[in-house]
Amino acid sequence: MGARGPASAGELLALVRNGRAVTRGALQQATGLSRATVGQRLDRLFRAGWLREGAVGPVGSPLGGRPSITLEFDDAHAVVLSADLETRHARAAVLSLSGEILAEHTGTLIVEEGPDRVLGELGHWFAELLEKAGRRGREVCGIGLAVPGPVDTGTGRVVQPPIMPGWDGYDIRARLARAFAEAVGDPPVPVLVDNDANLMAYGEQRTGFPGCSAFVLVKVSTGIGAGVVVDGSIYRGIDGGAGDIGHIRVPAGTDAQCRCGSYGCLAAVASGGAVARRLAGSGVPAASGADVRDLLAAGHPGAAALAREAGRQVGDVLATVVTLLNPGVLMIAGDLAGTPFLTGVRELLYQRALPRSTAHLDVVTSRLGERAGLVGAGALVVEHLYAPERVEDRLVALGV
């Protein structure tokens, strides 16, 4: 079955994947294992289809000898499914193990209709996407799902989500695994669930800012939430509640009732939904953050003014966030992530935060756009399934 621990087959795979050791000789040096033991463990990874030989590298010794053959993670041996739920629509995709989107679909999916129907429909979407990508259900190694609410990652269940009625405590992982299996006619696969802002942050940090050790993404859409990535890992807090900045009380919101039932929450005065309500009250047709986004794209002056004001409210709160976390990148994403909102954020952030906290801070907007949650969800699945501590059990299950 092979050894567990720092020199297991899983650890060898991790060394290859992160580029620290990509030849047999380098793996021997990194682990202290003998050539024969390294060969035996690599053979299992080759038989599983997880590794492949790449280009011939330079000769490792000045005295000559045979050139080294590099080793590569084979990202074509399986695919990942991911989905990103919003309040009234969703996105789903088939991704390669390296994060390339192979097929994608966006459609109406109303979260208030409840988890059973929404997750069942996602199962059908996945089946259609696999056919579109030319892949089969048995090639799927896992599913990642981003949801607009706080998630207990130990159970995959959302915890008292303000904008997801009927989802509190629901077994999302089991239902989505069953929906997938029923739609494609293959066995269920592992399902991972996390908050949408967390997964957007994870996707953006990994693809655009891999060297940033403290990364914060703020999503401003129907609600407001933040995702934090520290040293390459999502920071979730003790039970998944980290980053829920939309429910911080702000002075301007004293009379504004939030969807959580409280008064004075940041989301009640500065979210896309809050801006839409103010526009509707002035006679401008707007019912959601997506409507505000469209108005901003069309250059609507009223929408721009309110978005800038909302940005100032969020920037005031972010001054505290930046002082606490000292991130290298602060990314603004979601429906309001345009110039007016970003201008408002910067005005208050740089006014209220200490210069020491912002001296090395980049304030930017999303690079992956609407695909950030999909990419982050896919990456979460891959990192989970190919983590060293899980590789051994998966190899045994494959019979290698």
pTM: 0.93
β-bridge partners, 350: none
Looking at residue 33, its pLDDT comes to 94
Residue 329: count other Cβ atoms within 10 Å of its Cβ: 21
CB 262 within 8 A of CB 247: yes
Mean pLDDT by 10 residues, the chain (400 residues): 63 95 95 95 97 75 64 96 94 97 97 97 98 97 96 92 93 98 96 97 97 97 94 93 93 83 93 95 92 95 97 97 97 95 96 93 96 98 96 94
Phi, psi (rounded to 5 degrees) for 203? -65, -45
- Apex CA 312: angle with CA 308 and CA 314, to 5°? 115
Looking at residue 302, its pLDDT comes to 96
